[in-house]
Structure 1
Amino acid sequence: MKTMMAGLLTLLVFNTGMATAQKKSAAADLTHFPKGSTPKEIGKRVAERFVASPHPNFGKPTSPKKITYPEVCTWYGALTFAQESGDKALTDKLAQRFEPFFTTEAALVPAADHVDHTVFGAVPLELYIQTKDKRYLDMGKAIADKQWGTPEGPHVKPQSQGYADRGLTWQTRMWIDDMFMITAVQSQAYRATGDKAYIDRAAKEMVVYLDSLQQPNGLFYHAPDVPYFWGRGDGWMAAGMSELLRSLSKDNPDRERIMKGYKIMMASLLKYQAPDGMWRQLIDDPEAWPETSATGMFTFAMITGVKNGWLDAATYGPAARKAWLALVKYIDDNADVREVCEGTNKKNDRQYYLDRGRITGDMHGQAPVLWCATALLRK
């Protein structure tokens, strides 16, 4: 009888352990999702919504004079999603949207004179990677080269030449947004050409920003004189480091420093993720509202980290999964993302951030959903 009881107890412990392990595994699963929440379904809906949308102008009813960076970020996300999902028809639609820039809409192509303008180059470079049409390479490469070229244009500052003399881009501003805008186009230039000079200089730039701006807890103030951890601002840094690290060679001398900055940030974000899976308008403020653009960017960074083995899957996998499932609930029937913080300047005032307008369908929110869908599909 004692032997039988011991055997039953052992079996019970074994089964309990197996059930616990299976539950943990399911919580960390970044491959299987409920119907309606899969990356292919969500990515397709949001990408097709982008294809059907006119060029946005930061919420204004008028057409933009130049293509804006939120559109660029969404376009890039739609293209990478098309590639990872094997949707050639979608790639063709996205290429057709670009075609007028060679003719009737050439005036809409931004000059490569500011980080928010230069990021445009990421789109033609991705189109070249997918289609091998040299027109895209010529355009994108010229834009990436000008970022490290001679300072010129209306945005040149007294310090611009000094940055260039240090081997940095003359477009350096020490704004946290920069580390996605600069990184995206330079990483894309490397992916398109194989020339490591592009991504190596982006890595050098990233280290300067990390050493100058990252706080001890791994997060970033919106500005040195504005001690608030604004969600989307930090999101640009998280996404930028992820984009850089996934293509930066292991022998790059700056890789270890960037990886350290990335991991410290991810650990802090894990601490501040809300129980529902979202992150907030002010990351460390429990009274701030759940904000989708920041959540999407942080989710992309964590998915990328888990998929590449930089982050412990058992720890960060559940956080990334919970965040994705929370984020997709904010997508309405038109494939527009809700609760996107409006464009935001800096201000040393907590209430200013809490009172920012919440937009539906803004490209700042559409883009990171597509990045996440892409990251989930990557092997």
Structure 2
Amino acid sequence: MSTDDTIRDALDTLIRARPGFWTRTSCGVTRSLAPIPALLDRNAYSHETSRTRVLLVGGLSGRRDDVDLALRALELFAGGGDALLLRVAMSAVPCANPDGLRMDDAPGNGAGGNPSGEYPPEGKFYYDPEDPEKRYLWRWVCFQAPELVLELNTGPSVTWEYNQAAQRLAPGLGGKSISGGQGFLSALGSGHPDGLDTIPGLRLTATEEQLPRELGRLFGILRQMEDLPKSEARQALDARRGRSKVEIATVLAAAYGHTFEPVVYTQGVPISGRLRLHQLEPKSENPVPDISNLLETFTAGGIPQELAPSALASLVWADELADTSGDPRYNSLVIDAADRWTATGSGSAPKPCDPDFRTEDMFMSSSILGRAYRLTGERRYVDILANFLVDGKIQQSHGLYWHCRSASYYWGRGNGFAAMGLSEALAHIPEDHDKRPAILGMYGRLMQSLGRLQHPSGLLPNVLDFPGSYLEFTSTCMMGYAMARGLRLGFLAPEYKQVVDAAWDAVAERIDDVGNVVDACASTGVQNNVREYLDRPAIFGYDDRSGGMALWFATEMERLTRGT
């Protein structure tokens, strides 16, 4: 009889029996903070594998016999011989409703929801108070985009059902079309799930005694088929990833960086990104006249008083615009902004930074103080910056950063801010500065930890140390940018190129043809507990913060590729 412990033990037994094939992971988090267990094949996200990717889903109902059936199916697959394992890459979510199982609330989940109900889920990713499991499972499946999803249910007699995208497999199994258009498999097999395309799905209803024979029939079909085509969803992801970095940057530059209201870094970064793209592609349309016109009122009026660091960092474009336009006023803006930072004594954050040493301020400070030093050569700017980075003491021994001194949570974008702040600092702080070795060590430890925590998809979780936390777009861009910059400028070891490439592929797959992004954490202040970080809304669509960071990542990757 399945419980949390027996599910975990069963998955670990499979992993030990077939070393190198699987890892145990989580695909989501329930309202009780329980991870949703998953078994991930080594090729689940591979772009080049010849193996057929199958995702087994069981226990949507939360019923013990359904979970037992899924675990038994995995045992049968693992015992099916090397030929089968080398032909099929089987991943699994054996219990998609662990709270329903634990609380004996089937088909409910103990929070008022029903993970086996209507699909696709609408909105509230991933903070829905009743049905978070649906949202986690839906997104996880759509962007894994296997060739086949196999759902298992227990029942008194054998029934094979197929969705619209799986008609090719139906004749060999004697299947019938899934009735009703609002279930999990039906939704995967029609329309454009998550803006992609369809995924074939089969549902097998059987007893545990009938299961070996029926799975044998399916496995026999999969063995005999020379090639089960990639799902249309996977083909859509391949097409997105197949665009060049410049093509993706061009999409982002068309969507972002065309406003400077409000005055904040989320507007400034994409403006800078447009300038960086034109520097790479000088034959493209020159954005300088448009950007200069956009910023003229602000430039003529000067920087308002009492701006927060996030607003001062909006000027990351200024030195670049000065270089391309020849107008020295923009450099003066950088210096004026940098002069707002004043030291407050050893161990204290400089004004106007948060005295609690928030990671956001690591990026905001580095982006302006570093530029001011480059423009003036005055070491006071990098002295303030270096002291701030070293004095914070919010990096832990394993390399990750708390959000701030009073919030001991490993928020993904918080560590992205730290990564970008350290990489920006190292790009500007001179080699002979006495604190550069310490900052380089901080950067190296953080890169090592982020690389270790990178999900097989290439993404970073929104809460880095919480299994099942949603895979987040912006933090992945920020990590990727910081690593690519370190590789290009020579302060990061070459072996991180594999991490950066995986991050880029994942980001590229999550940018559509008009610049919309997938699962970007909404604006987030300091939260009170891990639940609040897990529940930060995930934006699916237009998001200037994420669009700007992705544009910087794209242009930095292109510079790394070109060696410039």
> TM-score band (shorter)?
0.7 to 0.9
Residues 117, 34 of structure 1: CA spacing in aligned structure 2 closer, same or farther, 3 A cutoff? Answer: closer
SS at structure 2 position matched to 1:338: strand
* One-letter amino acid of the counterpart of residue 482, structure 2: A
CA contact (8 A) 1:337 1:361 kept: yes
- Aligned partner of 1:182 among 362, 365, 382: 365
* Residue of structure 1 in register with 2:321 after alignment: 127
- Out of 322, 327, 332, the position equivalent to 1:138 is 332
- The alignment's C-alpha RMSD in Å is 2.5
Q: Could you say which residue in structure 2 is the equivalent of 1:354?
A: 534
Give the deviation of 1:124 after TM superposition. 2.2
Aligned match of 1:19: none
Structure-2 separation of matches of 1:368 and 1:102: 23
1-side partners of 2:525 and 2:305: how far apart?
23
C-alpha displacement at 1:292, in angstroms?
0.5
Contact 2:390–2:438, Cα closer than 8 Å, also in 1: yes
Q: Give the structure 2 partner of residue 78 of structure 1.
A: 274
For residues 159-217 of structure 1, give each alpha carbon's deviation from its aligned partner in whole angstroms, at most 9, with x where no partner exists. xxxx53449632232111000001101112223334443234322222222xx111111
Aligned in 2, Cα 1:169/1:228: closer, same or farther, shift over 3 Å? closer
In 2, are the aligned partners of 1:110 and 1:120 still within 8 Å (CA)?
A: no
Correspondence 1:330-349 to 2 at 5 A? 330-349=510-529
Query: Does the 8 Å contact 2:520/2:538 carry over to 1?
Result: yes
2:442 pairs with 1:267: no
Cα distance, 1:88 vs structure 2: 6.5
Alignment check: 8 A CA contact 1:116 1:181 kept: yes
The 8 Å contact of residues 293 and 341 in structure 1, kept in 2 or not, is answered as: yes
Cα deviation, 1:244-286, whole Å, max 9, x if unaligned, reads: 1122221111110000000000110111000010001011223
The aligned residue for residue 90 of structure 1 is 287
Cα offset, 1:364, TM superposition:
1.8
- More strand as a share of residues: 2
Alpha-carbon distance in 2 for matches of 1:38, 1:348: 41
Deviates more, 1:357-366 or 1:176-185: 357-366
Which residue number in structure 2 is paired with residue 111 of structure 1?
Answer: 305
Report the counterpart of residue 377 of structure 1 in structure 2.
558
Aligned partner of 1:68 in structure 2 is 264
Cα offset, 1:116, TM superposition: 1.7
The offset of 1:301, in angstroms, is 1.1
Q: Residue 253 of structure 2 is aligned with which of 36, 47, 70? A: 47
Report deviation, 1:112: 4.9
Of 475, 481, 486, the match for 1:294: 475
Partner residue, 1:240: 421
Identify which of structures 1 and 2 has the higher relative contact order when contacts are C-alpha pairs closer than 8 Å and 6+ apart. Answer: 1
Partner SS state of residue 147, structure 1: coil
CA displacement, residues 103-140 of structure 1 (integer Å, 9 cap, x when unaligned):
5xx49x54354212222333323311332202212222
The Cα shift of 1:36 comes to 4.5
Q: Distance in 2 between matches of 1:369 and 1:99?
A: 26
* Counterpart residue number, 2:436: 255
For the pair 1:305 / 2:511, whether they are aligned, the reply is no
Q: What are the within-5 Å matches in structure 2 for residues 223-234 of structure 1?
A: 223-234=404-415
CA contact (8 A) 1:112 1:143 kept: no
Indicate how the Cα distance of structure 1 residues 196 and 45 shifts in structure 2: closer, same or farther if over 3 A, else same. Answer: farther
Contact 1:227 1:348 in 2 (8 A): no
* In 1: Cα distance, 2:498 partner to 2:240 partner: 15
**Cα pair distance change 1:146/1:256, threshold 3 Å:** same
Q: 3-state SS of the aligned residue for 1:171? A: coil
Would the alpha carbon gap of residues 139 and 205 (structure 1) be closer, same or farther in structure 2, given more than 3 Å must change? same
- Change in CA separation of 1:95 and 1:254 when aligned onto 2, cut-off 3 Å: same
Contact 2:241 2:505 in 1 (8 A): no
Displacement of 1:348 = 3.2
Measured at CA, do residues 320 and 35 of structure 1 come closer, stay the same or move farther in structure 2, by a change above 3 Å?
Answer: closer
Query: Using the alignment, how far apart are the partners of 1:126 and 1:75 within structure 2?
Result: 10
Measured in 2, the distance between the counterparts of 1:219 and 1:339 equals 22
Could you tell me whether the CA contact under 8 Å between 1:112 and 1:118 is conserved in 2? no
Structure 1 SS opposite 2:358: coil
- Who wins on radius of gyration, i.e. which is larger? 2
* Counterpart-to-counterpart distance in 1, 2:501 and 2:390: 29
Alpha-carbon displacement from aligned partner over 1:129-164 (angstroms, at most 9, x marks no partner): 33220221222221211223xxxxxxxxxxxxxx53
Q: Evaluate the alpha carbon distance shift between residue 203 and residue 88 of structure 1 in structure 2; reply closer, same or farther with a 3 A threshold.
A: farther
Cα distance in 1 for partners of 2:311, 2:240 equals: 38
Q: Which stretches of structure 1, 4 residues or longer, exceed 4 Å deviation after superposition?
A: 33-36, 53-56, 165-168
Contact (CA 8 Å) 1:338, 1:361: kept in 2 or not? no
Q: 2:102: which partner in 1?
A: none
CA contact (8 A) 1:128 1:192 kept: no
CA gap of 1:291–1:76, structure 2 versus 1, over 3 A, is same
Choose between structure 1 and 2: higher helix proportion. 1
The structural deviation recorded for 1:330 is 1.0
Which amino acid in the other structure matches residue 120 of structure 1?
S
Unaligned runs of 5+ in 2: 1-47, 49-238
SS at match of 2:287: helix
Quote the sequence identity (%).
28
Q: 1:337 to 1:110 in 2, by over 3 A?
A: farther
Q: CA deviation at 1:372?
A: 1.1
In the alignment, the residues of structure 2 paired with residue 168 and residue 225 of structure 1 have an alpha-carbon distance, to the nearest angstrom, of 14
With over 3 angstroms needed to count, the CA separation of the structure-2 counterparts of 1:346 and 1:73, relative to structure 1, is same
TM-score by length of 2: 0.53
Q: Please tell me whether the aligned partners of residues 309 and 364 of structure 2 are also in contact (alpha carbons under 8 angstroms).
A: yes
